[in-house]
Amino acid sequence: MKQTIARLASQTSLMTKIAIPIIVIGISIGFLISQSIATLLEEHTTQSLKVESRNLNNKLFYLIEADFKALFLSYGKDAKRYEQAKKLSQQELLASLKNLFRSSIYDIAIITPQGTHWIKQSYTHDSILQSVNQHHKKATHLFDKHIINHSYFRPWKWNIVIIRDRAPIFELIAQNNTIIFQNISILVLLLIGVLIAIIYLTINRPFQKIFAHLATIAHDKEVRLNLTSSKEVVTLVESINAMSSEILTSHNQLIAQQAKIKRIMDIQPDILLLTNGESLQSVNASFFKFFDTFHNLEQFLAKHSCICDFFEKVNEEGYIYDFNHENWIEVVYHQPKISKVKIQKDGVFYTFKVQVEKFDQNNYVVNLNDITQLQEYQKELESKRDNLITQLYTDSLTHLPNRIRLIEDIKTTSNPLVILININSFKEINDFYGVDIGDYVLIEFADMINQQLPSKRAKLYKMSGDEYIILDSFLSNRVELIRRLNRLSSYLNTQTIIKESYTIDITTTLGVAFESSDLLISADIALREAKNSKLRFAIYDKSFETLKQYQNNLLWSKKIKNALDNNHIVPYFQAIVDNQNDTIVKYESLVRLIEPDGEVITPFSFLHIAKRSHIYHNISKCMIEQSFEYFNRKNMSFSINLSIHDIENYETHQLILNKLQEYQLGERVTFEILESEGINNYDVVASFINEIKKYNALVAIDDFGTGYSNFSHIINLQIDYLKIDGSLINNILHDESVSVVVETIIAFAKKLGIKTIAEYVDSKELYEYVKKMGIDYSQGFYISQPISKILESDTFLQT
């Protein structure tokens, strides 16, 4: 019973708390609504009256304007007639307006210069018209409770005024306002009654149950609540049930998460501490792995109030040094440079990297990372690095600083002077005594040079092979330099190295350079100059031809590479005629370089440069490919020039065989082997000839009769043609001895069954002469210049 009374009391209290303010608010709302309705009615009425009065005014204005327009168009040009007509028309107009608007609910006045004419007047006094601003074209305004609409018709200076008194309407609204208020208040109170009943049934009672249920959730119990009083309550109950499930789930997850975090902390290799600086709050498993004499934190704290008890005072940069129990953590936290501590355990020192992060207002998280091993690795690494640097800058044989060191030292030396020392004929020493003795010589000789350096500043470096460099500073005295170089050279050239039973005399050549942008190249040029001029030493001078050659070589190397890249290495074709019948029997493929401006460059300008590098083989390959490809489309014989280098080069050699196989042009191709360059290994040539003969290819010896011609070897080489060197043919008409040589070659060839070809035949006279001598074929400008394309119609007819 008591519970029932208490429950009713609590419900009554709630209802009272809600109902009283709602009743007050309801009555207030009723009052405000009734007032608002009254105001709205007044405003709406005023607005409607304004629009109506404006429309009425426009109507009047239009009628007056129409009347005026008719007068204007009819009589406007004649002022006198117009004035007469106007007077009559205006009187007529005012009369008709009065008649027209006699039943209007608006009062209408027209103020003319002659006076005011009331078109309709019911309750408006003349005094109201005084509020009209007669200069405004069109306007509406409120005066007292009157709406006044006014317009001005300019041609006649007429003011049209429409007036409506709102007072009767306002009185009617005020009378009805009290009734409106009473009705609305009753309606609001009825609504409140209904509202309270609904609140009690749908909200108050279910909420009591919800509150009781919420109390059970606080005890982590999951009990489901069932209420169906209203849709909203059902939704709320469902939400609470879901929420209570989620709270319990979250609670369990939190516990699991905490366990997980502890596990994560424990598997960390670093020691993690939670401390306020003086005492430890919490530690991870790594802590006890290190401090293995303790099994839990209580044991540790029983003996040590602070972990800093273990910190050694190391007076080195980065280590914590000046500290005590109270301040150590602040020191580390505020001075990031202090990041290491040394801890002694069992007589061994361990180094830890220490990191401190603020955890909350009083506590810090301390991370102690054992870097003892890392430091040892670092030391080892530094030691290895030093060794590598030493190796990088040191010659492994003589232990002298090497070329890399020299290049760096030159940069830091003022007025650098380099003396390049080359041991003459060192290759022979190596070949004769062996590499070991050679190495010994290089080491010993380095010691000898070191004993006679030209100045105290001078330093010796070992370059590649048999070369050394002394780096010194030039003291602006060339005479003194030459004196010192003489002394150095004399000293070096009188050295004898004794090894085992051998006595080896050393001679050297020096190349010297200073005041040059590239001292090493300049010294090298000077050295070549000294060797070419058979001097003991030479000081670099810009006038040395070697430099020009260098530059020229560089220029042509670049041009050749570009030409190869852009397909500007092309074959030109020069005809070879049969001296018996003056007909072209074949064409020789001659290499040409086409400059970007179209200029055709002969091989004399670039081939010798190309031969010094592997570019030459690319030119050969290019010529072989293009010649085969071109003559495959022509029914002509042709010849291709080859040097001994081409034959010895595996790739070129293979390419020739491949092309012979691919095109099957063996019977039409002749390979002209340049004899002038000297063939040392005739076996290689013989082997090559044997291979190409399998494809029925022919072989010619080019430039025969100069330099190294070796008749005995030629005999063994299955030669088909001998091409007599142009220098012999050129002089054949003027030099009898040359003529004899050529006759000998012809005779020699005939005996061996080898055909002969005369090149450089550049005149009719010479052509006739070589024919007379019995040379089989001719080639030269008299017959045809080299051409880029062969036409089928090309012929040579002797004239």
- The correct pick among 2, 77, 542, 633 for binding other proteins (CB under 8 A) is 77
* 686 phi and psi angles, rounded to 5 deg: -60, -40
Contact status: 154 vs other proteins (CB under 8 A): yes
What is the four-CA torsion angle of 642, 648, 650, 653, rounded to 10 degrees? 30
Alpha-carbon span 5 to 8, nearest angstrom: 5
81 binds other proteins (CB under 8 A): no
CB of 60 to other proteins, least distance (A): 15
Binding segment (CB under 8 A) for other proteins, from list 1-9, 76-84, 276-284, 676-684: 76-84
Report, in Å, the least distance between residue 98 CB and other proteins.
Answer: 24
Asked if residues 56 and 148 have their Cβ atoms less than 8 Å apart, the reply is: no
> Rounded to the nearest whole angstrom, what is the least distance from the CB of residue 138 to other proteins in the complex?
11
Kindly state the smallest distance separating residue 72's Cβ from other proteins, in Å. 6
Could you tell me which residues are beta bridge partners of residue 81?
none
614 binds other proteins per the rule CB under 8 A: no
3-class SS of residue 182: helix
87 scored as a contact of other proteins (CB under 8 A) = no
Is 75 near other proteins (CB under 8 A)?
no
Question: Mask: binding to other proteins, 111-150, rule CB under 8 A, as x and -?
Answer: --------------------------x-------------
Using CA atoms, how far apart are residues 714 and 722, in angstroms rounded to an integer? 10
84 binds other proteins (CB under 8 A): no
Closer to other proteins at the Cβ: 77 or 633?
77
Q: How far is the CB of 40 from other proteins (least distance, A)?
A: 38
Written as one string, the DSSP assignment of 649-700 is -HHHHHHHHHHHHHH--GGGEEEEEE-TT--S-HHHHHHHHHHHHTTT-EEE
**Smallest distance from other proteins to CB 27, Å:** 57
Select from 73, 348, 479, 797 the one that contacts other proteins (CB under 8 A).
73
- Quick check: 444 and 498 in contact, CB under 8 A? no
From 74-82, 461-469, 628-636, 726-734, give the range in contact with other proteins by CB under 8 A. Answer: 74-82
C-alpha closest to that of 423 among 317, 497, 329, 320: 497
- Kindly tell me which of 72 and 491 has the beta carbon lying closer to other proteins: 72
Helices assigned H by DSSP within 274-327 = 285-290, 297-303
DSSP 3-state of 490: helix
The C-alpha atoms of residue 247 and residue 240 are separated, in whole angstroms, by 10
Half-sphere exposure of 217 (CA within 13 A, CB side): 20
Which DSSP symbol is given to 245? Answer: H
CB of 124 to other proteins, least distance (A): 27
Segment interacting with other proteins, rule: CB under 8 A, options 70-78, 257-265, 389-397, 526-534: 70-78
Residue from 7, 44, 69, 303 in contact with other proteins (CB under 8 A) = 69
- Nearest distance in Å: CB 30, other proteins: 53
Residues 6 or more apart whose CB falls under 8 angstroms from that of 376 comprise none
Report yes or no: 522 and 515 within 8 Å, Cβ to Cβ: no
Of these, 29, 46, 82, 365, which contacts other proteins (CB under 8 A)? Answer: 82
Query: What is the C-alpha separation between 74 and 88, in angstroms, rounded?
Result: 14
Does 76 sit near other proteins (CB under 8 A)?
yes
Residue 97 one-letter amino acid: L
Q: Residue 291: enclosing H or E segment and its boundaries?
A: none
- Minimum distance from residue 155 beta carbon to other proteins (Å): 6
Q: Between residues 7 and 81, which has the closer beta carbon with respect to other proteins?
A: 81
Contact between 72 and other proteins (CB under 8 A)? yes
The smaller minimum CB distance to other proteins, of residues 86 and 462, is found at 86
**Which chain residues interact with other proteins by CB under 8 A?**
65, 68-69, 72-73, 76-77, 79, 82, 137, 154-155
